[in-house]
Amino acid sequence: MKSPLHDFLAPDSIAIVGASADPTKRGYKAMIGLIKDGYGGAIYPINPKTDMILGVKTCASLDAVPGPVDLALICTPASTVPGILAECGRKGVKGAIVLASGFKETGAEGAKLEQQVLDAARAGGVRVIGPNTSGMFNLHKKVNLLALANVKAGDIGFISQSGNMLLSLVLEAEHNGHVGFSTYVGPGNQTDIGFNDYLRYLGEDPQTKVATLYVEGFRDGQRFLEVAREISATKPVVVYKSGSTEQGQKAASSHTGSLAGSYAMTVDLLRQVGVSVVQHSNEILPVAEGLGLMQKAPGKRVAVIADGGGQATIASDRLAEAGLELAELSEHTRRRLGEILLPQASLVNPVDVAGSSDANPALLAECMEIVAEDDNVDSIFLVGMFGGYSIRFAEDLLGGEMRGAESMIELARRVDKAVVVYSLYAPIKPPALRRLHEAGLPVYTSIEHAVRVLAALGERGIYLKSRAVASHAPAVVPSEDMKAMFARAQNEGRDLFEFEAKTLLRAHGVDVAPEVIVRSADELPAVAAQFGEQALVMKVVSKDILHKSDAGGVKLNLRGEADLHQAFDSIMSSCRAYDPNADIRGALVTPMAKKGTEVIIGVSRDPIFGPVLMFGLGGIFVEILKDVAFRAIPLSQLDAESMVDQLKARKVLEGARGEPPADKAALVDLLLKVSGIVSAYPQISELDLNPVIAYPDGYAAVDARIIINRSVL
Amino acid sequence: MKSPLHDFLAPDSIAIVGASADPTKRGYKAMIGLIKDGYGGAIYPINPKTDMILGVKTCASLDAVPGPVDLALICTPASTVPGILAECGRKGVKGAIVLASGFKETGAEGAKLEQQVLDAARAGGVRVIGPNTSGMFNLHKKVNLLALANVKAGDIGFISQSGNMLLSLVLEAEHNGHVGFSTYVGPGNQTDIGFNDYLRYLGEDPQTKVATLYVEGFRDGQRFLEVAREISATKPVVVYKSGSTEQGQKAASSHTGSLAGSYAMTVDLLRQVGVSVVQHSNEILPVAEGLGLMQKAPGKRVAVIADGGGQATIASDRLAEAGLELAELSEHTRRRLGEILLPQASLVNPVDVAGSSDANPALLAECMEIVAEDDNVDSIFLVGMFGGYSIRFAEDLLGGEMRGAESMIELARRVDKAVVVYSLYAPIKPPALRRLHEAGLPVYTSIEHAVRVLAALGERGIYLKSRAVASHAPAVVPSEDMKAMFARAQNEGRDLFEFEAKTLLRAHGVDVAPEVIVRSADELPAVAAQFGEQALVMKVVSKDILHKSDAGGVKLNLRGEADLHQAFDSIMSSCRAYDPNADIRGALVTPMAKKGTEVIIGVSRDPIFGPVLMFGLGGIFVEILKDVAFRAIPLSQLDAESMVDQLKARKVLEGARGEPPADKAALVDLLLKVSGIVSAYPQISELDLNPVIAYPDGYAAVDARIIINRSVL
């Protein structure tokens, strides 16, 4: 599918509405940006009050433009925008950038004006970037509407709801010296074009090797996930999502009017579709550069080659914290390293050459070549002062450094493993490091940033591998009986009863404890006979009684017929006393669950991301520690497995404190079944299994609640 | 107390043992470093094979040196060092730097040689830096023994077990352009002089404004804590401690032979004594610079002034993540901001000027002045493109930027609040930012680093305030009875019985449930009468039965005389069967504890840091989530309070899920009592209260275990 954005993000003709001869105005800056960079298409300044701007003849209005217009940059105030967009429509303009702010980010009045902007654009068939945007550039097409100086054309496509963040990356890139950009767009309030559209464009753009996004809020998150899943299969997608805290979410909302949504959930869902999520703003450029340059992304086992024990230690700490592993070097590898290194070298990963390279820096490249041949190694991480030997020790070491650099470049090209270099000399860019960078090997100025890159590479590698084998559970086919059950509840204006919810789950293979509805005391002897010696629990069935315990509607630990009679009488009388008008359908009897580990599963339809499944351990783990995992539905087998693995408290499930481990396979199966059921029944608005008791063999769903989507019959 | 290190860390005469004319050798580099930098003292190259090095006459041996020698730099191999130190002793050398590696970091042989080094030094009265060190410099004294180029004299004293980390900071400082160093020492294996000695020296050194340490392992952690507590009262102390992970600890140990110790514990103990702990190596220099320049450190409430909503959002997220608060600006402050800003500006912190400063960057300084007058504000954080207005918008804005910079400098001098600037233009150092930096206002290149500085300032401010009011619990006076009880246990070659441990605790005011030792069944009727209706628990008393439950030595939920008889018989017979030779002293009877929140308190004598108290919630919180707090004993009131506040799961104690909150004051009192008891009784090697049940009013220590220090009678 070809994105329609190509038509105006790589435009052959541009109109500047509100072009100006005042150098502080955007209507001037855009012109000078185009002219200075040598834009090859037509430029039409629109200004009825002057004839010529920067040597280009103006037009009094869009209508007066002599040729076609692909893109209009609208620099005029908010109130004028709907009218200008109507003009754009008449002219056949394909896309318009609305710079003005003063729309939905300012409140209800602004939101009304923004709706008018959208209506005018739709009516005229014009696509809109913004409003409330810093604009765009496409450097390979020499469209530099921000008139940024010293910005290099390159591989990084960047979509950012913060203009300052663009400036910040551009200055970082200038200082780095080797990073360039393809297309930048500020999506602003995303009234028409959203992140999903821009991502598709970057995915298709051959000049973009890595799609990078600074996001305050998604408009259509569900669609974004679909596009990201598709694009990330062939091109790295890097996202910094703001609003990781409540404070940040408030700030974001007053900035672009975006709904931030739950940060933890957003991060989980983005990772689910292969996005590399960056958590600090100063890691955006290093990670984008690393992923863009090193398209191969093998796994999490890193070999560290260091020329100092302290930094080897720091690297080890950061790698472990980032969830990476120090690769276990084979006996053979260690022997080979031992042959070229001094006796005091440490041959166990992290390898510390301990002075062996002082007189021969190319030795570091030899070490890298040796560990690269080890099957236990996914990535090679050089740590220390490479590039600075000729500065620190002796000038004549420069030759060795340059030879070492060439070997590293050759190695990186040859092997299917990532090669990442941190050098403490990187800030002053000595020749060997410049050479590495020119050849496409990024050099990092901090161990921390280098490790973020290694982590992003490793995660991407594992994602791509797992994607290749990902299997979804067989689809659940909705049954007529169950559809009728939903329809009955709809007709009665209620949600599903607990026993109905359980019936649905049971119908689709979920292990729910057997249960019986008792409508009158006459049925109790048969019930007692059915369950025999087991301890039972009895709960009232009534749509009108939500808090069953408060109403005296729950009795535990019942054994034998006498207990059942007493409990039934007590429940009926206290529930009638609690709410005399309650429609009481009877009582539910089910065995008490055996002791096990409580987990909870919840599904809700997120306004941004659609149906999302949450999994966690029960009680304090969810409520206080917020130790939960989220995945968008439908889940693959690997999604379900990774939800369990992701929990900080997973050790509780793995059998802590002498307990046997819970049956992970059964839980994974349950997650997939719930995912399938929610996909099959759009009638479900929310679903809660709280708790599910996990056992060493299997599980029991002991409580179920389903809220109905009233708009689906 | 004057540190003896001044004598040789600011030496008036230096001998280079193993001086060399080979430019790749340390014995040459040190000479050239001294000569180039214009060292004013005497230089004595020691080399029997040549007459002159770099124009300086050599001596054949130390004995042949004509004048006194403050410092000897020993560049010769490990095996020669004990002999040379003996010579140093004869010559009256005050301190010697041993560069060679090949000592305890390499194993048992090396450790033996290192002991010989120490013996020789002690015998001759020579203090030793190293071995296995990169050396030292004192730039204010022009002692540049590392011959580092482009390193400025300045405020930062640095002690680092990683030579590469020094090089890294020096290069960062060179690139920063405004940071300089006072004294550097590589303590290496710390065979003689340890971190505590160096810290005292830096504390006393008038040229050092901030003491900064990269530590792989402390040798005498308890002493270090004492010195750090003293120094940090008047001078910031910044520590990066490596070994935050098991992988890192392994790497550190193979590097300097240091015992890393528990990272979480080390961090807690360092913070307890006012140390600013840095967790990423790339934050060491920014934090040291910030703390060094801004000696005032007010609190955690930060006002953000931003000229872009996106970066305001990022700043808000990072501040909240770092435990800082967005200051709530007063009505008055917001009104004043409203008077100078455009209508679209956001006046709620984070303040986003939203274009108001585009034509007048000095307006940012005005905003900073306004929020600085707000009593709710501790620190002012400028975020955005200040310094780059004249580059981005119009050259003639430079005047406004320079005026703004002067106002900020004046503000920072005038107010008792920290002023921290992040600018996205910092990497290219425009004039307004250079001016800020020259005037002692650091400018950060990333929001993340600036926030680390704000956090360090805020934490230090709160520490200094709390230090002023810190009170220790009244000392516990050991009683003769209790000392006799310890002596009895010592004599019997056992640890304290549970009932003895409880007796000790009770004697010093800890709330321990009442309990009775039953020696024979005859006593049971009286016991039953004493406890009346309460449910009781009975446990065997025997030093030989460690796992009481396994031996059938514990019975729960006993009510009335009959239950007690049955339980006593059962315990006695099953314990005798379990271990026929066990010395069984009877059974302990105590009421079953009411339901409450389980916490645990543990005390151990750490080999590095001495007696340390641990506090946490019980069970999985300790065992799986490792959610515990550590403090060195003795604790202050604030130490104890902060232990409770520090727990991630503190909400469980604060009354989660409808439960009433636990009695924090009682828990704090308990922590202080335990601290006092451990201080008073050196006989205690380990103490465990597991669990203590916390209630809305008070607590109950239901189990106690005390391990005896066999060396104390």
B287-330 pLDDT, tens digit each: 999 999 987 768 999 999 999 989 999 999 999 999 999 999 99
Residue A107 is predicted with a pLDDT of: 87
Phi, psi of B361 (to 5 degrees): -60, -20
Write the residue in B281, B310, B317 that is nearest to A447 by C-beta. B281
A425 contact residues in B (CB cutoff 8 A): 171
Write the residue in A149, A164, A317 that is nearest to B308 by C-beta. A164
Interfacial A residues in 619-678 facing B (CB < 8 Å): 619-620, 623-625, 648-649, 651-652, 656-657
What parts of chain A have a pLDDT lower than 50? none
Write the residue in A24, A245, A280 that is nearest to B394 by C-beta. A24
Residue A642 is predicted with a pLDDT of: 94
Give A554's strand partners: A539
CATH number of B514-591: 3.30.1490.20
Extents of the domains making up chain A: 1-143, 148-293, 296-469, 514-591, 597-708
B255 touches chain A (CB under 8 A): yes
Nearest residue of chain B to residue A651 (CA atoms): B624
Tell me whether residues B101 and A354 touch, CB distance under 8 A. yes
Assign B572 to helix, strand or coil: helix
Tell which CATH architecture fits domain B1-133.
Answer: 3-Layer(aba) Sandwich (3.40)
In angstroms, the separation between the Cα of residue B312 and the nearest Cα of chain A is 7
Interfacial B residues in 6-45 facing A (CB < 8 Å): 23-24
In the CATH hierarchy, which fold is given to the domain comprising A597-708? D-amino Acid Aminotransferase; Chain A, domain 1 (3.30.470)
B562 touches chain A (CB under 8 A): no
Please, are residues B666 and B700 in contact by the beta-carbon 8 Å criterion? no
Domains B148-293 and B597-708 share a fold: no
CA-to-CA separations, A642 to A244, A267, A615, A649, in angstroms, rounded: 22, 14, 11, 13
Interfacial A residues in 435-474 facing B (CB < 8 Å): 445-449
Tell me whether residues A648 and B657 touch, CB distance under 8 A. no
Burial of B493 (0-12, 13-18, 19+ CB in 10 A): exposed
Residue A676 is predicted with a pLDDT of: 96
In A512-618, which residue ranges form alpha helices assigned H by DSSP?
A: 524-531, 560-578
In angstroms, the separation between the Cα of residue B395 and the nearest Cα of chain A is 10
Residues 6+ positions from B667 with CB-CB distance below 8 Å:
B599, B644, B653, B692, B694, B699
Average pLDDT, chain B: 93
Across B565-593, b (16+ Cβ under 10 Å) vs e yields eebbeebbeebeebeeebebebbbbbbeb
> Which residue from A251, A378, A391 is spatially nearest to A325, judged by alpha carbons?
A378
- pLDDT, tens digit, 9 for 90 and up, residues B332-391: 999 999 999 999 899 999 999 999 999 999 999 999 999 999 999 999 999 999 999 999
Tell me whether residues B245 and A311 touch, CB distance under 8 A. no
> Which residue from B360, B667, B635 is spatially nearest to B474, judged by alpha carbons?
B635
In the CATH hierarchy, which fold is given to the domain comprising A296-469? Rossmann fold (3.40.50)
Residue B1 is predicted with a pLDDT of: 57
Nearest residue of chain B to residue A134 (CA atoms): B308
> Which residue from A205, A279, A202 is spatially nearest to A237, judged by alpha carbons?
A202
Residues 6+ positions from A235 with CB-CB distance below 8 Å:
A202, A203, A208, A209, A210, A211
Tell me whether residues B447 and A281 touch, CB distance under 8 A. yes
Nearest residue of chain B to residue A359 (CA atoms): B24
Task: Report how far apart the first and last C-alpha atoms of chain B are (Å, whole number).
Answer: 33
Burial of B54 (0-12, 13-18, 19+ CB in 10 A): middle
Write the residue in B102, B172, B348 that is nearest to A344 by C-beta. B102
B352 touches chain A (CB under 8 A): yes
Write the residue in A149, A310, A316 that is nearest to B162 by C-beta. A310
Residue A297 is predicted with a pLDDT of: 65
What parts of chain B have a pLDDT lower than 50? none
Task: Report how far apart the first and last C-alpha atoms of chain A are (Å, whole number).
Answer: 33
Q: What distance in Å separates the CA atoms of residue B130 and residue B121, rounded to the nearest whole number?
A: 12
Residue A24 is predicted with a pLDDT of: 82
Measured over all CA atoms, what is the biggest interatomic distance in chain A, rounded to whole angstroms?
100
B248 contact residues in A (CB cutoff 8 A): 313-314, 316-317, 320
CA-to-CA separations, B605 to B203, B257, B380, B495, B668, in angstroms, rounded: 28, 21, 43, 16, 21
Tell me whether residues A311 and B162 touch, CB distance under 8 A. yes
Tell me whether residues A307 and B164 touch, CB distance under 8 A. yes
A359 contact residues in B (CB cutoff 8 A): 24
Q: What distance in Å separates the CA atoms of residue B387 and residue B307, rounded to the nearest whole number?
A: 12
Q: What distance in Å separates the CA atoms of residue B209 and residue B690, rounded to the nearest whole number?
A: 45
Tell which CATH architecture fits domain A148-293.
Answer: 3-Layer(aba) Sandwich (3.40)
Tell which CATH architecture fits domain A1-143.
Answer: 3-Layer(aba) Sandwich (3.40)
